[in-house]
Chain A
């Protein structure tokens, strides 16, 4: 008897602004369709539709409803999602899993997804709630429980940073460089400069703040009867109950795996983030302020002889906050799952937001390099940022890169929104030179080109026999 294998693969790409949401379908003979939702979140749909606003919640719920219908829901009943994958815990990948805030309220997107009873809930190994805090890899008990408390510490730090950035942003964090005290007072930064700087910190900070509801819903779905939670690391066998589909896990490496290639002092990192998290939560609360009332005045009432210093201290602090939040963002991205689905000749690569440090492990393994070279569809890493598509290690080896019109040409799909990340050409997301290369060598689609008024998804079909991808429908 021939092994059961999908006859067709489908991919629905939802535009979610700055975020990711993909619905993969594996279609077997006899109407056996199994759907896998890869990430569901957004930090900003449009300038006005931001998380927690009603229009945002409605939009995300509309997507969830569409997922439900695709999974077989009819007249509000039935339907089954085969698996949910949350590549990492950034808001722009998981906040769609958040549930309604009031028990009596209307179902939110996370409630809809949960009602689809996913059989598998897949997350990186760092998310395992039973993992010891000092674990170097999955399934390590002993020591204080909860590696996730480290992530929580990081997210507390982010929350503190957002509060501080708002306070600084209101007062001017940018001091012009090159003016020393001997030259007299520095002219204040323009309002536009201040706002841009504070917004940059806030945007990064908010993406890193814990989304407790979404995190808890993911745990709950994994623990539901009949469901299985999988916390995966590079090399881990992943059986997702998809016959004929090989799911390769290429990242994230465990700390032990990454230690083999790079000597990181992981324990120092744990302490650093725990400390920072504790500090931010403690001192941003008014009760935690040291020496309350001891002759203190607000910054606006600093005596004249201290004003130059005040402006410089604010600027120095702003720079430090940005640097911390950038580091934090990168660390969180590096917990991202890197998955490759192999069906016949089709190789679908979903690397989440993995940055170069996460990629390093997989790219160091010849077998993975070979596998990656055969990629047929590439979900562009981290919304098209500079450090998420390794150039020499990954891009240069994609065998299906070719000129327009070639039948086997590589497809690349990016979910992104310009103008949110980065202030210079070097840090801008998506990175211009990367987009140019994607357009030149692949069939490129960006969710930026989709409308966002109503849910304007795009559908693709992949033929396992040839690995060829085509866009279907208008």
Chain B
């Protein structure tokens, strides 16, 4: 399409990608989907303002020159998917488009630009990085690396799996937003990176109607799906059956790379014991599956609620109504998109260090209520609370606020700060913290550092209502000897020497409204009982051993999941 020079510039483009992965087919055709991503002037690669695709293969020590950047908006439109998967330029494009789409989803949800965790602006995406059933994000290498391997029926490329790409991109984005979440801390924090990446990956996939259609096909197991579906048939087990069917269909060989969160979330019995007592569920991937299960149960429940309401509109007596298949699909995809936005937006209301699943739940409830006060359409917040509770996760916020965080104190000092500066200047935010350190219960002896200040404009996907907020994050750091820990009411773990060098992190997220008033202060203290427990776990896990390097954390973590080996303690020689 050639545009007139006077036409308003297009901000987005629709592009063709593999909807999930090449093993998800409708009939014999691989399901593709159109994604909306920001339009930009690309260099060969593709190489854009946030993503640089480099097709270097370390296993073969080989670089593949990219094809020329296409003039067309959607260079692979209407091509036979079977041919696409044999085209390395399409591989590069697929990875580029899905990374960009995930980035846009984050930017939309948070209402601002979202940076990577490193100094540069462009993440390097390597579609054929090595011959190995692995894919990972690496902060140190500023890149997302995708492997390929020999499957039973031919080569399998992880850069063609939507969920794998979205998962790894989420690791990268989350690392940019909350850099301390990669630190050794509680089992919850390590699990959160995995669980959250899976939640984003799966909801991104479900937000595409082609995939939801496939879920419905698999729910019914019908050879020729009916155009209309009876509402009474659309029960939660029926819909979950489709999710499980999709899990089965998704390339099973790639399971070592992606894990089995979708499948397990459907099979994991609703019970608090996984989270609270089962030792096996202390391992990050396993524990992450609990988070995924809690979110997906809420998703299916809310979908069901919505379909029931629609059914009642048609047939107030209930029972005999049926819904157009397309409508059922559309509702599922829209809900996935709404829930995805809610899940991501919560990050701004989450603590900056030592995250627990219960903190995340409170962050979700707070963020969602701020933007979507009316939740009658889905009862999403109620669903999430009940679903998390069924898996043993209670919100850590205020019971009187429905589990959301309590409001910040009213009697704070603002006389020393300027509203305009407070929206972008870390020094101004620090001044605010300093003036209010007692009221906000900061540790006065700690090194305190404002990491970021970001103004945001959030949009309610339901009604277009906008909300202006400024979010800032800070950390507090204390470095103490083992025998000094009692100063901050932290118990010295058994066996820790008196002269052990211990660094404790605290900190918080500050959410200011458009008038510069602090609405929420979500914080973790440097000391206290939580910190004692966290330190005990870090001590037990050997995080204090000096020679235990964790350079490429995700590479090692993924390998450990795949080979099934639990990390064994070292002998004390």
Contacts and interface: CB of A to CB of B under 8 A. Distances in A.
Contacts of B559: 320, 323-324, 327
A316 B58 contact: yes
B3 interface: no
A294 B88 contact: yes
Given A279-B131, A279-B133, A180 B56 contact: no
A62 interface: no
Contacts of A260: none
Contact of B141 (A265, A309, A426, A433): A309
B62 A298 contact: yes
Interface of A is mostly: helix
B489 interface: no
B222 interface: no
Contact of A316 (B64, B555, B562): B555
Contacts of A437: 573
Nearest to A312: B141
Contacts of B76: none
B454 interface: no
A181 interface: yes
B131 A180 contact: no
B562 A268 contact: yes
The number of chain A residues touching the other chain, given as a range, is: 35 or more
B421 interface: no
A248 to B, nearest CB: 22
Interface string A296-333: 11110111011001101111110110011001001100
A434 interface: yes
B63 A302 contact: yes
Contact of A264 (B63, B138, B148, B566): B566
Contacts of B54: 306, 309-310
Contacts of A289: 60, 62
A313 B568 contact: no
B118 interface: yes
Interface in B488-539: none
B120 A181 contact: yes
A264 B564 contact: yes
A312 B566 contact: no
B143 interface: yes
A313 B140 CA distance: 10
B432 interface: no
B126 interface: yes
Given A272-B563, A312-B140, A386-B571, A298 B131 contact: no
B288 to A, nearest CB: 16
Nearest to A268: B564
A44 B564 CA distance: 31
12 contacts: A180-B119, A181-B142, A282-B131, A283-B131, A291-B88, A295-B64, A298-B61, A309-B142, A313-B130, A320-B555, A324-B559, A387-B570
Given A167-B61, A312-B140, A327-B559, 19 more contacts: A168-B58, A177-B551, A180-B118, A272-B256, A272-B564, A275-B151, A275-B253, A283-B149, A296-B64, A297-B62, A309-B142, A313-B129, A313-B145, A316-B555, A320-B130, A320-B132, A389-B571, A391-B573, A434-B573
The 9 lowest CB-CB distance pairs between A and B, nearest first, are A317-B58, A299-B61, A283-B131, A312-B141, A295-B65, A268-B564, A282-B150, A182-B119, A265-B564
